[in-house]
Structure 1
């Protein structure tokens, strides 16, 4: 019996048990996952771990009520169904809940054309060798005092989703990853930085030496970091962190937040939320991208769609329930885990690039801050008020002068996003593909 056949058998059993327990509707998910990780330090293996297991989840709907349960023991199916129905009977009524109608379901469920699974599983020895090569390359860079860690990993995941409305489909995913953390200096003068990459297919990964060297070069560039001045300055979000800025916009157009009234963009449909010329497009069918999918967690067909077109907000991100609450159709964006109900979520997002290089934007900003790392956050989901800790580099007369640490940057997201200028350096292979972004007139609190 194949992996998919075993998982489909489990979802069959879950739905049968749910019907016997009294559920009106139900959907079930079965997952089988395995992962291997290897850490090296000082030219030797420091830690190796392998984890694998099966997880099953059941959602039952009963008279406008729902409940979700999950377990890692397939022998607990009958108990799960009984418990889920009992929980649903005590849950509050929500008339917006319900499975998709059969006519809404996609028949296109063969995900093989998306190339989401790499059959060439690396051995533990190969993983260790890659980590050692990255560590050695980082250590060769002058100014590096030590390598904190070099880590590699590989994962496989099979999923099957089945529902009482007739939907039944699954997919397999794989993932390769490698990262390196390097340190320069000692004591209070110590600085660290990192580099890492992840891909579905090993053949798409950069060489370990490339990742190790980049981590070390980023780290050495941070020597002598100090606080910046306090004031209002332009801030350039490096492509390493620019996607985080756009993620706040993505979160604000999530249907769950909009339906609760907890979004700073709740009244912005059809209004400008980015400068003219900016598009933000979801592309769920990109080949060999880890977030790609043909169908969502409710069995609806996914498709490219614009969240923002020419700067104007086009729509919310919706699953079936949030769509019904807002009197709109689902955008086929339901995501879920084994123990949770569907909720809206995005796949691959691509923001328009600009025509200027990152260096062009640095030269033109004159005096300001380049942000390459962020920590902590204070974001008001209702007003968009924004405050975050940051580190990076200070710019004077259009040139980088020194590294910066221990500062806070602040503004309002609605205003910030309307003052964007994009570079042309968006990286590939990111689930949110965003170039470096220059924001005019933010507050920097430093020395």
Structure 2
């Protein structure tokens, strides 16, 4: 796919005004004249021009194009094949501090005109939002090195036969594991997507992403005693994807290990969150430090800025500049430069995750963390996250915990956003005297996130290529409700 990773040049605000005929508001009178077969960049500027013609004071536009291919196999045969291609256009307009968002998949000029007119009409009827508005020109990202992020694999798109072969290999490897009864399914996929964002303050930028994925789900046992588990991988570059045989074999071994599960005893025990699901704990922490939650006053961390919320040796670092990682990006959904920052440094909460609106509500500056969909307004979100690893292996933590629960999967969630009270359904393995004894399921684990996070101990087993690099985490004294 020649040119698949061509992101095009980035032009600063002034260059855009000089080269594309933008007026002082960032709007162009000529954009609607471009052929609709042109790039997402051209379409985004056509949307801005339509917004101006419809009477918008300011506007931003996002255009996404892409294609995806997925293959699923079962019992050695093709089960499902799907290829999709799409174009999505989103427009946000502001009339004073009233805003509205509309979206479409139709790029005809007359549709863009109608779309903009409807958005302006909606904005005029919307309630005023004193915090709504675009970034000022001095806040916008001016330059970036898109190639350094390696968001797009320049190699050719894999053929359906290639994906089918990978899926069949994963299925065969799972079935080869002793005591695997069947494989629920194995699948492989590929995606190629390009995004472009432009606003009437002069910002214009875009990038291309690729994804390559492979997974398998294996089943051990049958009927009411059936247990299942999975393994999978998703990467930006085909060459980084784990081997299909390894993925299938791991799925099979995990399913077999869960066979014969029973309820654990009830009481207070140490709990080791396996690396596969430990990131969910840090996810609760990130949700509580999200500027939107803080601005609403609906967070158990709202009064904890500057306080110790993790052990002193732990930090949570956000880094959107890591190459070949899904959470990397050069700018956020409002055109601000993304940045590496310490959300928690040496256990101390240093700040909130902010977009422009939440920052204005709190009297602060955006951290460059605005995320948005084609048909939605921006909201704060985190990019790549890493938690400081510990010095010991997961095996060491198992040994040190004595008797307790190793959690490998969870279902459901009851989290009180104001108090941090935590309760989730869990399954995994019962540990006796530091050794795994037997699989367990149908139990609930409970505690309070404030207490849990301040005392947790991290292992050194995190996978460095994930967007959230979080190792296995040991927490003392949680409540286990089982038999």
Range of TM-score over shorter length:
over 0.9
Q: What is residue 427 of structure 2 aligned with on the other side?
A: 391
Q: Residues 98-122 of structure 1, C-alpha deviation per residue, up to 9 Å, x if partnerless?
A: 1111111112144122111112210
**Correspondence 1:20 to 2:56:** no
Aligned to 1:276: 312
Unpaired runs of 5+ in structure 1?
none
1:423 and 1:332 map into 2 onto residues whose CA distance is 30
> d(CA) in 1 for partners of 2:233 and 2:442?
26
Q: How do residues 200-349 of structure 1 correspond to structure 2 at under 5 angstroms?
A: 200-349=236-385
Quote the residue 1:89 is aligned against.
Answer: 124
CA distance in 1 between partners of 2:270 and 2:213 (Å): 34
SS of the counterpart of 2:258? coil
Q: Is the 8 A contact 1:133 1:209 kept in 2?
A: yes
Q: What is the CA deviation profile of residues 401-427 of structure 1, one whole-angstrom value per residue up to 9, with x for unaligned ones? A: 000111111111111111200001011
Q: Distance in 1 between matches of 2:188 and 2:125?
A: 46
Q: Is the 8 A contact 1:363 1:397 kept in 2?
A: yes
1:40 is matched with which residue: 69, 73, 81?
73
Kept after mapping to 1: 8 A contact 2:229/2:252 = yes
CA distance in structure 2 between the aligned counterparts of 1:3 and 1:198, rounded to whole angstroms:
22
Stretches of structure 2 that go unaligned for 5 or more consecutive residues are 9-37
2:188 match: secondary structure: strand
Map 1:79-228 onto structure 2 (within 5 A).
Answer: 79-120=114-155, 121-228=157-264
Q: What secondary structure sits across from 1:80 in the alignment?
A: helix
Say whether the 8 Å CA contact 2:71–2:80 is kept in structure 1: yes
Q: Which residue of 1 aligns with 2:24?
A: none
Note the C-alpha offset of 1:3.
8.4
Residues 24-64 of structure 1, C-alpha deviation per residue, up to 9 Å, x if partnerless? Answer: 11000000011111000111111000111100000011111
Partner of 1:269, secondary structure, is coil
Q: Which residue in the other structure is 1:74 paired with?
A: 107
Contact kept, 8 Å, 2:7 with 2:206, in 1: the verdict is no
What's the offset of the Cα at 1:428? 2.2
Q: What's the secondary structure of 2:281's corresponding residue?
A: helix
Instruction: Report SS of the residue matched to 1:148.
Output: strand
Superposition RMSD in Å: 1.1
> 2:450 aligned with 1:417, yes or no?
no
> 1:61 matched to which residue of 2?
94
Cα displacement (A) at 1:300: 1.1
Q: Is 1:358 aligned with 2:394?
A: yes
SS state of the match for residue 221, structure 1? Answer: helix
What's the offset of the Cα at 1:153?
A: 0.4
Asked if structure 2 preserves the Cα contact closer than 8 Å seen for 1:109 and 1:170, the reply is no
Alignment partner of 1:67: what SS?
A: strand
Aligned length: 447
Q: Aligned equivalents of 1:141 and 1:428: distance in 2?
A: 28
User: Equivalents in 2 of 1:382, 1:65: separation in Å?
Assistant: 30
Aligned partners of 2:387, 2:191: CA distance in 1, in Å? 28
Distance 1:173 1:146 in 2: 34
Give the whole-Å Cα distance in 2 for the aligned partners of 1:251 and 1:35.
30
Q: Distance in 2 between matches of 1:139 and 1:86?
A: 59
Alignment partners' CA distance in 2, 1:151 and 1:79: 41
Deviations 1:145-180 (A, max 9, x none): 101100110001001100000000100000001110
Residue 265 of structure 1: CA displacement? 0.4
4+ aligned runs moved over 2 Å, structure 1: 1-5
Counterpart Cα distance in 2 of 1:357 and 1:185: 31
Q: Equivalent residue for 2:18? A: none
Please report the TM-score for the alignment, with normalisation by the length of structure 1.
Answer: 0.98
